Structure 1
Amino acid sequence: MSVPTSRSDREPDPQPTPQPDGQSRVRLARLVALAAGVVGLLLCLLTPLLPVKQATAGLDWPQARPGATSADVTASLVTQSPANFTATVPCSVLTELAAKGGVALSTLPIGTSQARELGLSVSVGAPGPAQSVTVASRNAVIAAAPMDRLRGCAQLQVWSNPAEVGARFEGTDVSGTTATENRPVMGGVFTDLTPAQVAAAGPGLRAHAEIDTRFELAPSPVKALAIALGLLCVLASLIALWLLDRGYGYHRRAPSRGWKQILRPRPVDVAVVGGLVLWTFLGGGGSDDGYILSMGKVASEAGYTPNYYRFFGAPEAPFDWYYSFLAQWGSISANALWMRIPALLAGIAVWFLLSRVLLPRLGPGIRRYPVATWTAGAMLLAFWFPMNSGLRSEPIIVLGTIVTWAAVERAVATRRLLPAAIAALAAGMTLGLAPQGVVAVALLLASSAAVLRVIVARRNEAGIAALVLPILAAGAVIVPIAFRDQSLASVAEAIRIRLEVGPVAPWTQEYLRYFFLTVETTDGSLVRRVPVYLFIMCLFVALFVMLRSKRIPRIDPGPVWRLVGAVFIGAALLSLTPTKWTIHFGVYAGLAAALAAVTTVAVVEAARTSVRNFTFFLCGMLFALAAAFAGFNLWPWPYPWGVPWFDRQPEVAGLTFSTVFRDLAFVAGALAAWQHFRMDFRRRGEGGLADGDLVNADDAELATHTQAEQDGARRARRRLQLASLPLVVVLGLLVLGEGAIFAKAMVSNPSTYTVAKGNLDTLRGDSCGMAEKVLVETDPSSDLLPSAEGRPAAQALTGSASHGFLPDGLPDELKPLAISSAPGQINMASPITQPFTSTAATAGTGGGRGPRTINGSTAALPFGLDPARTPVVGSYGQNTVPAELFSDWYTLPARSADRPLVAFAASGAISSVGPTGKKEYGQPVTLEWAERRPDGSLGAQGVLDPIDPGPNKPWRNLRVPMDAIPPTANVVRIHVRDPNLGEQQWVAVTPPRAPRLRTLQDVVGKQDPVLLDLLVGQQFPCQRPMAIRNGTYEVPKWRILPTRKDALSTSSAWQAREAGGLLTVPDTLLRTTTLPTFMTGDLTRDWGELQQYTPIAADAPAADLTVGTQTRSGLWREGPIRALTNQTVRN
């Protein structure tokens, strides 16, 4: 795209071209530029094709384990299915199993539904006339042979590879194959055979799995040498280009300011840099921070930087160089403050490049109106706070974009081509950060005409090839960096997996990015809407003025046209990216800041002669603010804690800000219309805020005029200054407001956890974040309170005056009310144009049937409560008469710091009031306290409403702080009234407990492998994510989740097994128990959950793997990974 440029961009300076200084040195530089440029460019482009070393891994079974009670081994594959799998089972082993039936071999734990639906198994049916041996994979029968057909069978061969899944009974005519889509999920090798039977079978019973490690690559010596030589050649070509610039005198063409003058701080620098620093401590980060931190933590053992949470462990390449840097950075410390330093430094660098290089380049109007620089700083912060403060690559993309622009402007202004090469290098590196890095490429394209004119003007000096090849080679540097440890084939497979699994949207749905900005989610929060809407407004204001008047007074049109062109080209290129998240708008932060400065000057200059135009601008800005403030003040988990207006539009005294801005916009619009028609009616000039010429005069010229003329000019200047304020005031108030609400959240919640408080705790040496504030009850059954009357637990729960509460008074399913999330939320795996809805309960809280409890109930108990010690009663099904429960009085323990509350598990429809004041309809449940005297009589008594974290129906822990119970009270009891005969109105309870609590940090520790959901990793920096080693997952012992809504709509959906996510491991190998947890200082807070895992196959250790290396071509590919969406295949 070619954009108009200023005269200074179109024509060289009139002075003659300088003669070269030292002909031999220039000739040598030209030769080096040609030779090194060609070699460097070719080597860089060839890097993806060069050979790599692949780390290989294989599993061979059986594996001898002296003293083992089982022959099972565990190996949960990252790609789910092995690259190749073969197994041999002697038919004599199958005949031996026929006596009782059983499974000779399975890739998933035996007896689970997942083993049938997902795994491959060789099973012998129960004894009987129809007994047969069946080989099945993913519920598809491959081959089946009746037992009487096995008389001539020698052995059973089973295989699975990218071409097919098959089985053959050798010695018979029974065989079969099935489609490659039925390749099994492999979690190890499991069998009903005892270790003795396996040993007796000898070498005929065996299985071998070739684990898919296609992404665990390292450069071969040839590739490493080519990369090093290529980069050295590029460096040599750039030095040669610098010498060509100097040899022809271009180094003397642009006087530069001294470093002291450049670095001298100004008030606006203090405000912007101070805002960035304070926000690093106080403010919110990104929803992907935990995602990226966990990727970095596992990268070293994985052998590459995997996506980790999704996409079958596909690498982030070719967009991984910054995340690889963060992995090394995080090896020093994983706490949030340390990890956010790169983004902070990027923000500071962006501001200094803008304020020292680019804003002055835009024209003298920026210097004449200092408020323009303040507006640019405010716009930068307004973008930076909600979209560029985390670990994502957007802040580095902004820096790369600004470096590209600054280098281009330097090349155009000085006619030097080394800056053009630096611009190409910066744009390439920026594109290598993420697909949205195309905005830097857009700047190159928008500036191509101006740079090309410089090249053409200098073509006779050293030839076009010597000038262009170093620039092309610099742009190609990203190729060896992006493919340094991956091949072309591996990256192509990673991209295929992403497009197959999704979510993706074609370029024709780019409008969704803008639509998602209007939806009430964190991605459509008002803090994102305001800067984006104002940025779009500034873009069209600048474009309108430039098209109408050809230029903005006191603004150089060349850089502005390049700026505007870059935005439009960037928007077009951004439509080609596969995802449409609103956080991608953060890449425009630097360009938006420059446009805000240009718009400020344009508005002031327009207001000089036309009050009407200024009023129209004010009207448009107010409408943009009205639309923006119709959103909620939403931030990703856990940043909203303590922040106001997270659940509604901002308002004061019942009046929303959106309504105020809308009404003011109507008033401004009516005023602008009146001014317009009044101008036409009078047929005279519009009239401005500063009529006359003296307003442009400097102070020396003003001194030669009368006092009245001087006073008038100064009043006009003040009016113009006021005209420049609306944009900076709005942006400034937004930025200050964001900082204030996070500071208030920290100050108003001194005893509990907020992100800001966690950051400050880090400075005091407490670097484990939320793990130090979440309290865990590890053994709820041991914390049950004893009956004060000394009765057994089964009788004590119903007391002597209860009716309508029975041991089986619970439904089979405890389904909560549906939760929903609007479309467009980042990392939400449902179709991006549809909202997410779920009625799922968290693990172990959704009811069902389990072992019989101490009082005869068959209801499954939650939270690890022991049925042998814990009774349960409920009023479900008692729909003829009201039900009421008075439990026995239970004795309270002595007060202690480790037992700060009384809790009891409850389910059903319970009346409560949430932390935001919202009332939940249900039946009343209270905890009564009393002072029990030695003779058994009761003294003072009282009633407390327990805190109910919700949601209604599933099991949850109602809790009462010990501080709320008078110190003289020594007994408590549960009182439940259920007068409602409706089928959905019922309550179930277990006895009260006084939990012994320990911090999550003490319980989980730093060494146990943990499944950290993608939202939580940054808040639990001391916990170790489950590792990836040799293509297999480490089996986790724990899982940490965010709130139920976030867990269901985001992390659990994004991490799903169907999408190649981490939940493959617990879905196939583990049982889950949700432990009771509480947040220090705020018992009402739904902070999230801690789940504990236990293996389904108890005696199945991690398999020993055979590892090695293999050299592969850059085009080598071992068939596609089985990555199918739910729409393609059911499981």
Structure 2
Amino acid sequence: MEPSSPIRSDGTPGERPGAPPSRPLDALPAPAARRARWIAHVVALLLGAAGLSCALALPFAPVWADRSEVSWPAADEPAVSTTALLAPYRPAQFTANVPCPVLRSALDRPDPTMVLATVPPGSDRDGLLLSAEGGTPKLIMGERAVALPPLPADCDLTVRADAQRSTITVGTLPPIALPGVPAPEIFTFSTGLPPEQAAELSVTARTYTWFETAPTSLKLSLTGFAIVLAAASLLLLIAHTPPTWAGIRRAALRRIRFDLSLLLLIDAAVAVVLALWLVIGPISDDDGFAMLTIRNHAATGDIGNFYRWFNASEAPFTLVQHLMRWVSEYSLAPAWLRVPSVVAGMLTWLVLSHGIVAPLCRGVRRAGVHLLTAVFFLACWLPFDLGIRPEAFVALGTAAVLALLLRATAPGVRAPFGHLGGAALLAGLTVAVTPTGIAAVLIVLMFAPRIWRLLLLPGELPRWMAVPTRAVLLCCLGSVGVVAMFADSTWTGFARATAIHNEFGPNLGWYEEIERYSSLLGTSTWGTASKRLAVLLVLAAVLLAAAGVLRRLHRAVRMPELPLLIGAVLAVFATLWLTPSKWTHHFGALAGVAPALVAATVVLLARVGSLPNARREARQLGVAGAVAGAGAAALAFQGPNSWWQYSDFGVPWSDTATRPLDLPLDGPLPWLLAAVLVGVVAFGLVRLRALAGAWTLPATALFTTSALVMVAVLIGSFLQAPAHAGAFSVGRSSWDSVRARSCGIENEVETLPLAEDGTLALTAGPLDDTEQDAPDETRREPAGFVANQGRPGRPPQEPLLRRPPDELALRPTGAEAEPTDASPLMWDSLADGPRTTGEVTTGWFELPALRSGQELSVWVAGRPEQGNDLRVEFGQNTAGPEAADQVRALGSRELRDPPPRQLPFDDPRMGRAADWRDFRPWRLITVDAADLPAGADRVRLRATDATTDEQGWLAFGGPAVRDVVPLRDVLDGGVPALVDWPISFLFPCYVDYPRVSHGTADSPGLLITPPGGEGSMAFDPSYGGVFTGVPAQSRRWETPSRLRGDPGFTWGHVLSVSYDLDRDVYDRTTRRVRQGGADGDGEYPFEEGNLHP
């Protein structure tokens, strides 16, 4: 039965809420009007179905696929060994031809000879190794030694392999089939034969290029049709129930009145905070990784992972990356790249405050709730959503979907289908952002009963026609998400990328979600105090609001939509629960709907407290809320104010519990006492008939105060950071980039290569002019110290770098970097272990006059303090040029490590670990030229080891002179530098990265690594590291470096890479083939026997 229509005052039937208003067609004769309506619905149904079909066809539509082939040796080049980094490591097809003369020449050699290898010597990777030993050829394919037959006269050897099998052919003998043995992994093409004997040797390998595709004209047409038809579907839905002009005029007048209110000032304040945060806020742990995936798009046409996962595509969740790709074409300055997330943040604020909280919390003072929501929004958004990760856009999408659905299903709405269409469109686009965006679909499913009732609203045609038409139009709009995901990718690319991600992980199950919360409550950057508070307040709000809903208090306080808001927040938590990686940065997706729930919970508590017939509920919720709020605040402030990498520089409380103004906010007792105090005051101020309000006031005060304090801590600490950080801070760098005056940290790092003739030589003279008869100090072994035995190991070798004439760039002296020692001399007190004590004074070294930009340096290991002592003493030779040295002492200077600025967490109860500071590695300590005494031309070292603990020893090398060279001069040295992902975001000016494309990666000549060193997933095969082949076939030497003006911060490392063979001397050719979206190469064979067609 259809619902009855309302009756106007004149007795005529009125229009049903949500029903279509009268149309101009009503003026037509009845048969013509009915025929026109049928035609309109049929056309709408066909348009929606066509748009949906176009979108669903996109993953399988034909594309132009790149087919790349690597050939060695390169054309017109001798057959010399070379690096060849394939990503993935195995090719899709492999062919190696070893002509008989090549094989015979190897067999005739007296020593074992490697004929062909695709992996470095000693590697445990599954490569091909063909060698000759004792006149017999030996072949290893992966994990299998292949027994070759006696060689016939025609002994040409050919190896062919693909993903399922390998075949070896020797001359005209029957082939040797190796089913289940895939193509070998390739990191190199190398041979032990001289080029003239290996001239006919050849290898070709077709690489896997699943993701390097371009749409055909047919796919472009499908994409265009899908977008146009989706736009038409939205217009048809709006036309189906158009808003009345009177309603539009009233809404406009309301907006004008609103613009003159206090709400606009609050909105402006939020905008100012977000704009400030854009400049001073921290970088996220993934900004550098995500930025390189975007920057490498030009080489591949795909958003790949660059560093890991075989450079597998991020498809189909690449909508934000493509947005950032367009943004980055203008500038790579960090401040500019943050603009989209800040714009998304501001839109999220407007949607959740005006579209969710305002209709949900009707009947209260709007300005107060608006301000309360602003505090909770900033507390949830600031810690997580700045940068180029996608969570800020998921937050916007989920908030917009919820707001539109609330509006569409609100009682009395005259034009619901336009809002439903907008919700369907945004839900599809949100899914295209990242898997967490599936929360938007869950929110839609939560509204399914209400949406179904809207679809069933009676119209001009029968429901069997109207309902499918409306549903198809909505599905057509939702399918825009499929367009965004597959406009430039394929079903095969999606399937292969998913398989690779699952293989290497992280791939944690739903039952391991506890790992995310374990990280959140840890003391690393994953568990920053502000991140803790945002999540814990939301969890507390979910529990309190759910308790109120179970007692039906939401209806008593006129908040009937509160269960839907709880469901929306739980939808986001559910998607986090199901994601395979458990990082805390995913909590940023909560910023769209969770602040609204926290604000609504505070309003619920306040309203319940004022209900005269709900005093028991007020007491229960008030006490529970106060305990939950105190616990959340205490757990949050117990964490450090610690941030990723350089964002930590200068930030207060980065290594301790967060205690603003030294207040003990890291314990629950102060918060509970504050709650009790608020409650006592409330009892004294509230009249007896409204006594229940005092029970909930402490809980609301705790929620609001903790969030407000945390927002103040965040903004205040990052405003202080530039003043505390010395020469560099992320905020100062971002501000400089706004004014186009910064290249990030590249401008702030100094390298310290050895100066030309920087190694100082010992003189033959005595210690000083009072010790004419003393023996040469270099010839005696003082007690406790030994010379040149290197018990702790010798000081590290360094690359020899020089400036070519008329250039600023610092380059290796040859084709590859060569190592050198700062000094051939060293002394240490570890001869009999760390319990040894003693003293040593070296002989005098000749000290040249240091120029500006030069420093005196000493390599030091062990502890030169806390009971031990190491100092450099200066002198002046007072004898003539031909006479023996007569050295007059000019003073001394202690050599101490700069105070460390990156400290481990100082637990309030346990403190720091006793041995948290590690003195055992070699460090470089320098003395600036300006600090040398005038006239000094001699220098020596005096050391005292007076301690016997585990680190109570001392080792040092001879002094050396170094040049102070900006890092950018080393980066301009003409070789591609791989800046590792944790720090690459702050190298916006550097462009000469090794290219990763067409299934291959360039071999880097320079590595810029984070403070942790080379332990990067880019070099780790267990992560699918794209540059796995670099460590196994190269040597790396570090050029000492430091952060200008703040050497106590370990900023990173500069490593020159020297290969034992040529770099990337092979040919690569690429052609394009047309194939279906579900066609192409099969799955990658990760292991022998784990093969799929």
Q: TM-score range by the shorter chain?
A: 0.7 to 0.9
Aligned residues: 1007
AA in 1 matched with 2:672:
A
| SS of residue matched to 2:554 | coil
- Is 1:540 the equivalent of 2:516? no
Is the Cα–Cα contact under 8 Å of residues 164 and 178 in structure 1 kept in the other structure? yes
Q: 2:495 is matched by which residue type in structure 1?
A: A
Native 8 Å contact 2:529 2:658 kept in 1: no
1:874 paired with 2:828, answer: yes
- Please, which moves more after superposition, 256-265 or 644-653? 256-265
Partner Cα distance (2:789, 2:387) in 1: 49
Which residue in the other structure is 1:771 paired with?
746
Q: Distance in 1 between matches of 2:555 and 2:941?
A: 75
Aligned with 1:215 (options 207, 211, 217): 211
Instruction: Give the drift of 1:968.
Output: 6.6
Matched, 1:741 2:717: yes
Q: Does 1:989 align with 2:950?
A: no
* Aligned-pair CA distance for 1:882: 4.1
Which residue of the other structure, out of 873, 886, 891, is the alignment partner of 1:928? 873
SS in 1 for 2:80: coil
Residue of structure 2 aligned with 1:1111, choices 1063, 1068, 1074: 1074
Q: Match for residue 315 of structure 1? A: 313
Supply the distance in 2 between the matched residues of 1:392 and 1:598 (Cα, whole angstroms): 28
- State the match for 1:1121 in structure 2: 1084
2:6 aligns with none
- The 5-angstrom pairing of residues 122-521 of structure 1 reads 122-125=130-133, 128=134, 131-138=135-142, 140-144=144-148, 149-171=150-172, 175=176, 177=178, 179-180=180-181, 183-199=183-199, 201=200, 205-246=201-242, 255-257=251-253, 260-261=256-257, 266-365=264-363, 367-368=364-365, 370-413=367-410, 414=413, 415-458=415-458, 461=461, 463-521=466-524
Match of 1:910 in 2: 863
Residue 698 of structure 1 aligns with which residue?
none
2: CA distance, partners of 1:505 / 1:718: 46
**CA–CA distance in 2 between the matches of 1:797 and 1:196?**
56
What amino acid does structure 1 have at the position aligned with 2:71? D
> Deviation at 1:572?
2.5
Partners of 1:188 and 1:1103 within 8 A in 2: no
CA-CA distance at 1:318 after TM superposition = 0.8
SS in 2 for 1:973: strand
* Post-superposition offset of 1:1012: 1.7
Contact residue 843 and residue 1073 of structure 1 kept, 8 A: yes
Are the equivalent residues in 2 in contact too, given 1:1008–1:1037 (CA < 8 A)?
yes
In 1, the alpha carbon distance for the partners of 2:1065 and 2:1049 equals 38
Aligned-pair CA distance for 1:1000: 1.0
Distance change (3 Å), C-alpha of 1:798 and 1:362: farther
Q: Does the CA contact (< 8 Å) of 1:608 and 1:691 recur in 2?
A: no
The answer to whether the Cα contact below 8 Å between 2:798 and 2:820 also exists between their aligned partners in 1 is no
1005 and 16 in structure 1: CA distance in 2 versus 1, 3 angstrom threshold: closer
Q: 1:579 aligns with which of 564, 578, 581?
A: 581
Go from structure 1 to structure 2 and tell me whether the alpha carbon gap of 1:969 and 1:118 turns closer, same or farther (over 3 Å shift). farther
Query: TM-score by structure 2 length?
Result: 0.85
Q: State the partner residue of 1:884.
A: 839
Contact 2:142/2:181 (<8 A) preserved:
no
Show the counterpart of 1:77: 86
Within 5 A, what are the aligned runs for 1:64-143?
64-65=75-76, 71-100=80-109, 101=111, 103=113, 105-108=115-118, 112-114=121-123, 117-125=125-133, 128=134, 131-138=135-142, 140-143=144-147
Judge which range, 166-175 or 766-775, deviates more. 166-175
Q: State the SS of the aligned residue for 1:619.
A: helix
SS in structure 2 opposite 1:472? helix
Distance 1:532 1:1124 in 2: 41
SS in 1 for 2:205: strand
Quote the Cα distance in structure 2 between the aligned partners of 1:628 and 1:1128.
47
State the one-letter code of the partner of 1:601: V
Question: Alpha-carbon deviation of 1:242?
Answer: 1.8
- Read off the aligned partner of 1:42 and give its amino acid letter: S
- What CA deviation, in whole Å up to 9, does each residue of 1:1052-1076 have, x standing for no partner? 1465123211331413443211111
Judged with a 3 Å threshold, the aligned counterparts in structure 2 of structure 1 residues 61 and 939 are, in CA distance, closer, same or farther, namely closer
Aligned-residue CA RMSD (Å): 3.7
Q: Deviations over 1:592-623 (max 9, x none)?
A: 22112212212222333557454543332112
Task: Report how far residue 433 of structure 1 moved.
Answer: 0.8
How far off is 1:483 after superposition? 1.3
- Judged with a 3 Å threshold, the aligned counterparts in structure 2 of structure 1 residues 779 and 124 are, in CA distance, closer, same or farther, namely farther
Separation (CA, whole Å) in 2 of partners of 1:266 and 1:1006:
54
Find 1:662's aligned residue among 665, 669, 683.
669
In structure 2, runs of 5+ residues without a counterpart are 1-13, 27-32, 768-774, 800-816, 881-885, 901-916
Gaps of 5+ in 1: 1-10, 677-685, 696-715, 815-840, 846-862, 913-920
Gap change, CA 1:142 and 1:330, over 3 Å in 2 = farther
Q: What per-residue deviation string (whole Å, max 9, x for no partner) do you get for residues 404-461 of structure 1?
A: 1222122123242121111111111111111111222222122222222222124555
Which residue in the other structure is 1:33 paired with?
44
2:791–2:828 contact (8 Å) kept in structure 1: no
Deviation at 1:587, TM superposition (A): 0.6
Moved more, 397-406 or 57-66: 57-66
Query: For residues 868 and 263 of structure 1, do their structure 2 counterparts lie closer, same or farther at Cα, with a shift above 3 Å needed?
Result: closer
**Partners of 2:831 and 2:333 in 1: CA distance:** 51
Task: Give the alignment partner of residue 1004 of structure 1, picking from 971, 979, 992.
Answer: 971
Sequence identity, in percent?
25
| Partner SS, residue 333 of structure 1 | coil
User: Compared with structure 1, are the counterparts of its residues 368 and 671 closer, same or farther at alpha carbon in structure 2 (3 Å cutoff)?
Assistant: closer
Alignment correspondent of 1:600? 602
Give, as a single letter, the amino acid of the residue that structure 1 aligns with 2:160: W
- In the other structure, the counterpart of 1:810 is 790
With the length of structure 1 as denominator, give the TM-score of the two structures: 0.82
The range that moved more, 263-272 or 47-56, is: 263-272
Q: Is the partner of 1:388 in helix, strand or coil?
A: coil
1:309 Cα deviation after fit: 1.7
SS at match of 1:398: helix
Cα distance in structure 2, aligned partners of 1:35 and 1:160 = 50
Q: Deviations over 1:947-1004 (max 9, x none)?
A: 1677433332233445555567554432233456789765432222232021111210
- Helix, strand or coil for the counterpart of 1:124? strand
Change (3 A) 1:1022 1:790: farther
Matched AA of 1:155: D
- Which of 647, 652, 658 aligns to 1:644? It is 652
Aligned residue in 1 for 2:908:
none
Structure 2 counterparts to residues 622-771 of structure 1, below 5 A: 622-651=630-659, 656-659=664-667, 661-665=668-672, 668=675, 689=686, 725-749=701-725, 751-771=726-746
Q: C-alpha distance in 2, partners of 1:195/1:960?
A: 50
How much has 1:1106 moved relative to structure 2? Answer: 2.1
Q: How far, CA to CA, are the matches of 1:109 and 1:797 in structure 2?
A: 51
Cα-to-partner distance string for 1:1058-1095 (whole Å, 9 max, x where unaligned): 32113314134432111110110012211111111122
**Equivalent residue number for residue 525 of structure 2:** 522
Q: Contact 1:109/1:1097 (CA < 8 Å) preserved in 2?
A: no
The structure-2 alpha-carbon separation of the partners of 1:897 and 1:426, relative to structure 1 and needing over 3 Å to count, comes to farther
Between 536-545 and 301-310, the greater mean CA deviation after superposition? 536-545
For 1:55, what is the secondary structure of its paired residue? strand
Query: C-alpha separation between the residues in 2 aligned to 1:881 and 1:258?
Result: 84
**Judging changes above 3 Å, is the alpha-carbon distance between structure 1 residues 934 and 1008 closer, same or farther for their aligned structure 2 residues?**
same
Q: 2:567 is paired with a residue of what secondary structure?
A: helix
The offset of 1:14, in angstroms, is 6.0
Q: CA deviation at 1:807?
A: 5.3
Cα distance between partner residues in 2 of 1:1124 and 1:811: 43
211 and 717 in structure 1: CA distance in 2 versus 1, 3 angstrom threshold: closer
Q: Is the 8 Å Cα contact of residues 863 and 951 (structure 2) preserved in structure 1? A: no
